[in-house]
Amino acid sequence: MSRKPVPAQQGERSRTEVTFDRPQLLPQLFGEYDSNILAMEERLGVYIHARGQRVVIEGSAEAVAHAREVLQELHSRVIRGEAIDTGLIDAVIAMSSEPTFSGIFRAEGDEGGAGGNAPPIMIRTRNKTIVPRSITQTHYMRALISNDIIFALGPAGTGKTYLAVAQAVAQLITGSVKRLILSRPAVEAGERLGFLPGDMKDKVDPYLRPLYDALYDCLPAEQVERRIASGEIEIAPIAFMRGRTLADAFVILDEAQNTTPMQMKMFLTRFGANSRMVVCGDPKQTDLPGGPSASGLNDAVNKLEGIEGMAFVRFGIGDVVRHPIVGRIVDAYENEHA
């Protein structure tokens, strides 16, 4: 690498070296054409130069210390088999600003030190192993394995639905539950089912497509189709839940801000034995005519928070793990009326 050093942003100039004991992994850490290193330099205001197993970091003392911590965490993730991309880099940088970052992955039984073992919080599916990309995701993933009913609240791109689907798939694979039930209210931007062409499946599939997408990311396509055909996986509008008791199931309600209070009550009271239920939505966004005040999600949060067996996990703009521009878009819209 022979790039022009990035000027230190503040404080006296500092320099440190990090030596990695698995140099064969450094190409994965650095990325193609050093794209990951370039991303870290840009975001952290440092200059990073590799010399064999040694990596030199230059910049302000604060930035260098920050970059060293981020680089070591990313190297640990490479050892664990994770693919490093700019999304993960942004997530690790954001997490490293939290006071609990240094022990968050190794606080529970990692005797091998940094990167010695897999992190304690993870989800294994047929297609991938998923680890948290933000502090809030860590709390959420813990809640998904320790609470009966979980409310995941916050803006788009924070992993609310994706992580719930991944956990549901993992439990279905291990046999912890017999069924995976995914549901959404069929209310979107003023559309009504009767106005859409085709039979009932054709009418509701566009509303449920994000759930299909998450499933296909966690399971091979043929398994998804086979499990849907056998009834192990069911994807349906919330109206199809009426009159049922959902036992031995992992049940997910997505876009819950578009439910009415009566729909939300109906859905929550479907809860059965040996089940887990996750309710995902953004309390600030709803397509219901009455706005947020008419949302069954907001009504449920106000009435149920504090009840034993329920967890309420709130995501913020800083937890957005999609492309960085998504976080900036969400921020711009939320600050418009601030």
N- to C-terminal Cα separation, the chain: 44
* pLDDT per residue rounded down to tens, the chain (338 residues): 445 545 544 557 889 999 888 888 889 999 888 889 998 998 889 999 888 788 999 999 889 998 999 998 899 888 877 888 887 888 788 777 654 444 444 433 343 334 444 445 778 888 777 878 888 998 999 999 999 999 999 998 889 999 999 999 999 999 999 999 999 887 653 445 555 555 555 666 677 788 888 899 999 999 999 999 999 999 888 888 888 889 999 999 999 999 999 999 999 999 999 999 999 999 988 888 888 888 999 999 999 999 999 999 999 887 877 666 766 787 787 776 55
Q: Which amino acid is at 148?
A: D
Question: Is 110 inside any structural domain?
Answer: no
Whether residues 100 and 153 fall in one domain: no
Whether residues 263 and 180 fall in one domain: yes
Helix (H, G, I), strand (E, B) or coil at 298: helix
**Overall domain count for the chain:** 2
Domain that holds residue 281: 123-335
Nearest to residue 141, comparing CAs of 127, 117, 124?
A: 124
CATH code assigned at 158: 3.40.50.300
Q: Is 240 exposed, middle or buried (0-12, 13-18, 19+ CB in 10 A)?
A: middle
CA 82 to chain CA centroid, nearest Å: 15
Q: Which amino acid is at 97?
A: S
Whether residues 88 and 209 fall in one domain: no
Whether residues 154 and 256 fall in one domain: yes
Pairing of strands 276-281, 149-153: parallel
pLDDT value at position 189? 39
